[in-house]
Chains A and B, each alone.
Chain A
């Protein structure tokens, strides 16, 4: 961009904030990480159903996958992303997204126990896809919004997840739990696939590593 092309009237701080977040998040690592977190729950449910794994194994798998979901973006960004697009440290304001996600987790657990107490577990099981679908959609929206995507993309992605999740209610098979777990598993796999595709696109877009800096003022 030529210096003359920059117009002060065109500088929009909100847009800049989004651009900054998107610059790093376009490597797909956040989507991949979120997919890994989402895959934990249905995976454990399915494994428990078919193999009857003990608690120790459940905790081992759970914490291993969580650790991978945290470590993978850190390593990838340190080795690849920052060398290609540069590095920035976000302001503490971004903590708002973490607070919202923690709140969502709290509402998820609190809401479930409330529905169990008031309406009973059977009722909860019947609305399980809507309940978890809403949570998935909310989580996805927060992620997409704070990752620098446009709000429209976040809403569309959330609606798609809600639609897929609620479609589990159409299953008229006896083993509903297994069907739900399969649907959540598919959603998580879609997220992982999107993350991998984004990572490949990122590597294609920025094939060369940024040159070593030789900045002297």
Chain B
């Protein structure tokens, strides 16, 4: 394989990275949801340090992609938005991490 072909392969791998997770704020949200079974909106907001508007828009995108499940519940008469990763979301996150590791290793 020539050097050019090698370079092209590396760039193709970067290009194949999941664009939805690749956004840093969404990656952060996915990371926090990955280590828990489910969490509410306040918890994620406090942990990630993102604003409510930001979180809301990113969560909508993740929900549309089928990565995050959003449920509205009442806990002691207080509305809570409970978020969790779907099986698809978990798989996508693991795949993304592996891909990213590979890409970084290639460049190193």
Partner pick for A19 among B25, B34, B47, B70, CB 8 A cutoff: B47
Once A13-B31, A217-B63 are accepted as A-B contacts, the answer to whether A86 and B24 lie under 8 Å apart by CB is: no
Main secondary structure of the interface of B (DSSP, over half): helix
Residues of chain B with a CB closer than 8 A to A83's CB: 78
Residues of chain B with a CB closer than 8 A to A88's CB: 36-40, 43
Q: Please count how many residues in chain A sit with their CB below 8 Å of the partner chain's CB atoms.
A: 30
The 0/1 profile, CB within 8 Å of B marked 1, for residues 1-43 of chain A is 1010011100101001101100100000000000000000000
Residues of chain A with a CB closer than 8 A to B36's CB: 20, 88-91
Once A88-B36, A88-B39 are accepted as A-B contacts, the answer to whether A212 and B79 lie under 8 Å apart by CB is: yes
Once A1-B49, A87-B42, A87-B43 are accepted as A-B contacts, the answer to whether A20 and B75 lie under 8 Å apart by CB is: no
State the B residues within 8 Å of A (CB). Answer: 22, 24-25, 27-28, 31-32, 34-50, 52, 54, 56, 59-60, 63, 70, 75-76, 78-82, 100
State the A residues within 8 Å of B (CB). Answer: 1, 3, 6-8, 11, 13, 16-17, 19-20, 23, 78, 82-83, 85-92, 210, 212-217
